[in-house]
Structure 1
Amino acid sequence: MDSATAARDRLKTMLAEIDRSIGILAGEPVAVRDRSSADAGSDLTDADRVQAMVTAASAHRRAVVEALGRVDDGTYGECVDCRKPVPEGRLEARPEAARCVQCQSRKERRR
């Protein structure tokens, strides 16, 4: 199995896991019940936490889908900013990584 096939398989597995997680999170409404105002605040916090997890999972999903696109167009493993190779260890740890460590650090500093 070549590296592109292995990357595609790993990314598709990740995508299925993310989709399953989003489905579970999105399907968990906060229970409505008789409650004190303190409980209502807690429910709101729980709903906010679930929404934050869905938002983070959705962003991760986008990164995986974009990585699958790079596999398909032959640019997987190439930094989207500087076009240098993304280190193999980085791709092993984060198969969806689009940038080399230096470019990712620059991007995060700009936020």
Structure 2
Amino acid sequence: MDTVDLVAARARLEEQRADLDRSLRILTGERPAYDASDADAGARLTDAAGVEAALASLRRQRAAVQAALERIDQGRYGLCVTCGGPVPPGRLEARPDAARCVPCQARRDRRRR
């Protein structure tokens, strides 16, 4: 059975977290002032909604990465948070923040639809 290289997993997760933190800082930084004309109002609302959606997505991703780092610290990395079974190393290679085995993730995805 393949094993997970925890040192490599931690390094990848920490790199992902740093990238996400940089993106969050950029999106939450100062934005240029806009002209208050009516023509620009709709564009600003659309831009603001897009930024908020991007921020929400980045925050979810960061939380998943942070949870994976905590699972490493707790000795639970590579174990499904739902059933306790192993998360395949190939899945962790593709998604180091994966918290569930494939069957449990598929069930969760079906319920969320």
TM-score for the superposition, normalised by structure 1? 0.90
8 Å Cα contact 1:77/1:85 also seen in 2: yes
Residue 46 (structure 2) aligns with: 45
The structural deviation recorded for 1:34 is 4.1
Cα distance in 2 for residues equivalent to 1:84 and 1:25: 38
Residue 87 (structure 1) aligns with: 88
List gaps (5 residues or longer) in structure 1: none
The structural deviation recorded for 1:32 is 1.7
Cα distance in 2 for residues equivalent to 1:6 and 1:74: 15
Using the aligned pairs only, state the percent identity: 53
Residue 10 (structure 1) aligns with: 12
CA RMSD, 1 decimal: 1.5
The structural deviation recorded for 1:29 is 2.7
1:109 equivalenced with 2:110 (yes/no)? yes
Distance 1:91 1:47, change over 3 A: same
Q: Which has the higher contact order (CA 8 A, sep 6+)?
A: 2
User: Between Structure 1 and Structure 2, how many residues are aligned?
Assistant: 109
Q: Select which of 20, 23, 27 maps to 2:22.
A: 20
Cα distance in 1 for residues equivalent to 2:101 and 2:30: 37
